[in-house]
Amino acid sequence: MREYLLTLCVTAAVTYLLTGPVRKFAIVAGAMPEIRARDVHREPTPRLGGIAMFFGLCAGLLVADHLTNLHQVFEKSNEPRALLSGAALIWLIGVLDDKFEIDALIKLGSQMIAAGVMVVQGLTILWLPIPTVGTVALTQWQGTLLTVALVVVTINAVNFVDGLDGLAAGVVCIAAAAFFMYAYRIWYSYGIEAAAPASLFAAILMGMCLGFLPHNIHPARIFMGDSGSMLIGLVLAASAISITGQVDPDSLFGGSERNTVHQMVPVYIPLLMPLTIIAIPAADLILAIVRRTWRGQSPFAADRGHLHHRLLEIGHSHSRAVLIMYFFSALIAFGALAYSVNAASMWIVLGVVFLSAIGLVLLLLPRFTPRAPRWAESFVPPRYRRRRRTAAATAGEGAGEGEDGAESAADEERVPVTAGVSGVNGATAVGSRTRTR
């Protein structure tokens, strides 16, 4: 565990320290597109944040290769090199897209090629342990097609959810944390060495997201762009592929295939785990394709109908919309993780139902503004602090509402106030400032 934490911290530190220089480079390079109709930010913001994330990935793999236990992952498996090859290709395409706006079909083809590069080097699904059936061995073509499909879907799901400051990085970080706990338990508790690469990939992915988030939280100073969103989507897919089709239950337990699969619940859970950790992005992707196809548009045509856009439309603030997406992503991912640990516990189901009800209440209360207690105000952003009324406001309330109250409050503060005086242009003077109606 200490080596995983060290790898995570090095990845996060490198990503964090490089994001500032990358931001300056993006500004100089002109990677600051104009505001589009579907954008929610108000000022041009540099992209290319994926450059820092990619070098964080390289630093994490380099450090892991020199650690005592994690070095065995590189000796016994070719998956880290396969991941780096595919990540380098998809990252390069993303950098070009952030600068020159590559066509969507070209990006789709590049994603398939990157997935194919990983398949050629051994990062592929070999078999599927299916409940009540047993272990189903896949042919080379079946494994290749399934691997490419999972990579492409995950990359585009993460890319589609990257619409608010800190949203994609936070959601993927939550998914990676849940998947790391799952993969590490498979490796440590069950002694399945094939789960070690997936644990390493998930730890590095967490470091990439955590290192980038401080620069990307609202208001964002830099965006990850397609170079970042496609990169973390590929790493997330590689983690799922590494553990889904690389563990053979029949080689660990005796008996029939059906009994083996039933005993190995944590092994066939990966069939659903990759879908649960990207449940929110995947749902957004499916809804976007259906919505655009129904309108007669291309599935790759951009619009303002994503889940985060709808949260903003019903009245949620930018930060609250992101936190709601975080909440439901964590609920689904960690709920699936808890189920994989103890599928027979009723408390897990009740806990998920209770938290889902809380999430629905928060979802339907867009005007509710949480306030931190006074002792914690110094630790939270100003928007969550209680507003303290001044003496002028108190005096104004005591004198009554309207013009008389405003004048009495102004007398106590000895600030001249002229209320209700309109000029020719419809401007009203309030205090020493003039506001145009």
Q: What is the pLDDT of residue 101?
A: 84
Domain's final residue, options 262, 290, 318: 290
- Residue type at position 302: A
Q: Is residue 304 part of a domain?
A: no
Whole-number Å distance between alpha carbons of 193 and 15: 28
Residue 430 φ then ψ, to 5°: -125, 110
Write out pLDDT tens, residues 277-288: 666 667 777 777
Q: Is residue 63 part of a domain?
A: yes
Contacts of 276 (CB under 8 A, 6+ apart): 332, 333, 335, 336
- Domain shared by 15 and 126, yes or no: yes
SS3 category, 250: helix
Q: What is the pLDDT of residue 419?
A: 38
- Residue type at position 25: F
Whole-number Å distance between alpha carbons of 204 and 67: 14
What tokens were used for 230? 């496609």
Which residues, given as ranges, of the chain have pLDDT below 70?
33-42, 129-135, 190, 245-281, 298-318, 342-345, 360, 362-372, 379-437
Residue entry with tokens 């299916």: 130
Q: What is the pLDDT of residue 102?
A: 86
Domain's final residue, options 268, 290, 312: 290
Query: Please, which residues bridge with residue 427 across strands?
Result: 436
Write out pLDDT tens, residues 169-219: 998 999 899 889 888 887 777 677 778 888 999 999 999 999 999 998 878
Beta strands in 35-184 (DSSP E): 127-130, 134-137
Residue of 32, 99, 78, 22 lying closest to 54 (CA atoms)? 22
- Residue type at position 193: E
What tokens were used for 240? 């799922």
Q: What is the pLDDT of residue 274?
A: 60
Domain count, the chain: 2
Query: Please, which residues bridge with residue 128 across strands?
Result: 136
**Structural domain boundaries enclosing 397:** 391-436
Q: What is the pLDDT of residue 89?
A: 94
**Cβ count near 108 (within 10 Å):** 14
Q: What is the pTM of this model?
A: 0.72
Instruction: Write the DSSP assignment of 214-228 as a string of letters.
Output: HHHSSSPS---HHHH
Q: Is residue 318 part of a domain?
A: no
How many CA atoms within 13 Å lie on the side-chain side of 155?
31
Whole-number Å distance between alpha carbons of 188 and 180: 12
Buried b / exposed e over 226-250, threshold 16 CB at 10 Å, is bbbbbbbbbbbbbbbbbbbbbbbbb
What CA–CA distances, in Å, run from 173 to 70, 180, 279, 323, 329? 21, 10, 14, 13, 10
Q: Is residue 343 part of a domain?
A: no
Whole-number Å distance between alpha carbons of 23 and 48: 7
Q: What is the pLDDT of residue 163?
A: 72
Q: What is the pLDDT of residue 109?
A: 92
- Residue type at position 203: A
Q: Is residue 362 part of a domain?
A: no
What tokens were used for 119? 């398949």
- Domain shared by 244 and 100, yes or no: yes
- Domain shared by 160 and 279, yes or no: yes
What CA–CA distances, in Å, run from 65 to 7, 11, 16, 60, 264? 10, 13, 21, 9, 30
Query: Please, which residues bridge with residue 436 across strands?
Result: 427
Domain's final residue, options 264, 290, 316: 290
Q: What is the pLDDT of residue 211?
A: 94
What tokens were used for 20? 């500032």
Q: What is the pLDDT of residue 257?
A: 47
